[in-house]
Amino acid sequence: MYKIAVLPCDGIGPEVIREGLKVLAVAAEKYGIKYETTDYDIGGDRYLRTGEILPESVMAELAEMDAIYLGSVGHPDVTPGILEKGILLKIRFEFDQYVNLRPIKLYPGVWTPIKDKGPEDIDFMVVRENTEDMYVGIGGTMKQDTPDEVALQTAVYTRKGTERIIRYAFELCRKRARKHTLHMVDKANVLTYGHGLWTRTYAEVGKEYPDIKQEHAFVDACCMWFVKNPEWFDTVVTTNMFGDIITDLGAMIQGGMGVAASGNVNPEGVSMFEPIHGSAPKYTGQNVICPIATIAAASMMLDHLGETEAAAAIERAISEALSSGKLGDLSTKSGISTTEQGDLVASLVR
């Protein structure tokens, strides 16, 4: 019996999570998977009502779960940063979810802005480091709001943190058995200390993986190649900050935020699965957001739990739904509601 914590959170989070749970229920029934969910009322509304963000009592309960399924975080009436740091980053950091897996996969039937590229060209995995870099929250300001203001935002890279994510990426690349190519993306030509550590660690760990072709790209060039030659990529490992940025670009070449899923993984602990998109406040309650990313995140969650057949069934259903053309252009103007999209995928799993 799996215990799954459900945190729909803000904006359209509850709407997409509802469809994800619908598909999960069908897959679980079909493959005989037993699970129970616990809903948590976390997010901007609760914060505005009670001042609480993520109470320690909830953190203690999350620690006992097999997985966390999260919708989206961000509220128009809350200063940016409070909920992001207090919910998303708190969970990622405190549960040491040091791997952020972000598949960039163009499903058949999905429009990509890249001319002449198809599903066979766009199918790679970004392995984003998820606990270090500029995200650690170390820094400060001096003489704030004066012309002499000084601001520091420190990027932290540790040998342990760098090594474990690079090793994870090598192992994953070996398992994917696609092109056996790993790209390490950094900015070592400027960030000579921090990314010097990445360069040295990549070379050292790489010696253990002679079967993997080891490539390197500076982050700016990587952005160019994602668009120009996406077929070069199989597995990409990068820092937290760059991973955040290049996966929004990745989401666009795979057809948009509506299809981009992610997993925050601690291989030995509690992991969290979520769409990479935000809470889209202006569409809240309209039932127009594409739930595919959140449904795909449920598939990643099942895969992580070892339920590979059920995970693959959801992936197949997503693929079929998208190639059927019945989901329209996946935008908020597609004319196909969030509910209908979830229903279609659920029926295809069944």
Which stretches of the chain bind ligand IPM, using CB under 6 A?
73, 84, 88-89, 244, 276
> Whose Cβ is closer to Mn ion: residue 234's or residue 244's?
244
* Nearest to 241, CA basis, from 140, 133, 158, 164: 133
244 labelled catalytic: yes
Q: Which of 123, 133, 234, 244 is catalytic?
A: 244
Assigned token pair, 117? 């590229």
Q: Which helix (H) or strand (E) holds 213?
A: strand 213-218
45 labelled catalytic: no
The 196-235 contact track toward Mn ion, x by CB under 5 A, reads ----------------------------------------
Q: How far apart are CA 18 and CA 25, in angstroms?
A: 11
310 interacts with, out of Mn ion, ligand IPM, none, CB within 5 to 8 A per kind: none
CB neighbour burial string for 274-287, b if at least 16 within 10 angstroms, e if fewer? bbbbebbbeebeeb
Instruction: Tell me the residue number closest to Mn ion, measured at CB.
Output: 244
| Shortest distance (Å) from residue 276 CB to ligand IPM | 5
88 interacts with, out of Mn ion, ligand IPM, none, CB within 5 to 8 A per kind: ligand IPM
| Shortest distance (Å) from residue 245 CB to Mn ion | 8
Q: How far is CA 143 from CA 139, 147, 151, 199, 264, in A?
A: 14, 8, 9, 36, 37
Q: How far apart are CA 193 and CA 244, in angstroms?
A: 21
Which residue pairs, CB below 8 angstroms and at least 24 apart, start in 325-332?
325/109, 327/290, 327/292, 329/111, 330/110, 330/255, 330/256, 330/258, 330/259, 330/290, 330/292, 331/256, 331/258, 331/290, 332/283, 332/286, 332/288, 332/289, 332/290
| Shortest distance (Å) from residue 347 CB to Mn ion | 32
Strand partners, 37: 4
Assigned token pair, 5? 């914590």
Strand 261-265 to strand 271-275: parallel, antiparallel, or no bridges (unpaired)?
A: antiparallel
290 interacts with, out of ligand IPM, Mn ion, none, CB within 5 to 8 A per kind: none
84 interacts with, out of ligand IPM, Mn ion, none, CB within 5 to 8 A per kind: ligand IPM
* Nearest to 350, CA basis, from 311, 302, 314: 314
> Whose Cβ is closer to Mn ion: residue 246's or residue 322's?
246
| Shortest distance (Å) from residue 286 CB to Mn ion | 23
| Shortest distance (Å) from residue 60 CB to Mn ion | 28
Strands (E), 18-65: 35-39
248 labelled catalytic: yes
Strand partners, 139: 153
Instruction: Tell me the residue number closest to ligand IPM, measured at CB.
Output: 84
Q: Which of 41, 143, 160, 220 is catalytic?
A: 220
Q: Which of 39, 143, 248, 282 is catalytic?
A: 248
| Shortest distance (Å) from residue 90 CB to ligand IPM | 11
Task: For residue 149, count other CB atoms closer than 10 A to its CB.
Answer: 10
Q: Which of 40, 98, 107, 135 is catalytic?
A: 135
> Whose Cβ is closer to ligand IPM: residue 26's or residue 246's?
246
Task: For residue 111, count other CB atoms closer than 10 A to its CB.
Answer: 11
| Shortest distance (Å) from residue 135 CB to ligand IPM | 7
> Whose Cβ is closer to Mn ion: residue 127's or residue 314's?
127
> Whose Cβ is closer to ligand IPM: residue 73's or residue 344's?
73
> Whose Cβ is closer to Mn ion: residue 244's or residue 274's?
244
Please choose, out of 181-189, 193-201, 240-248, 280-288, the segment that lies near Mn ion by the rule CB under 5 A: 240-248
Q: Is 244 in the site for Mn ion (CB under 5 A)?
A: yes
Q: How far apart are CA 139 and CA 155, in angstroms?
A: 9
Which residues here bind Mn ion, judged by CB under 5 A?
244
Catalytic residues: 135, 187, 220, 244, 248
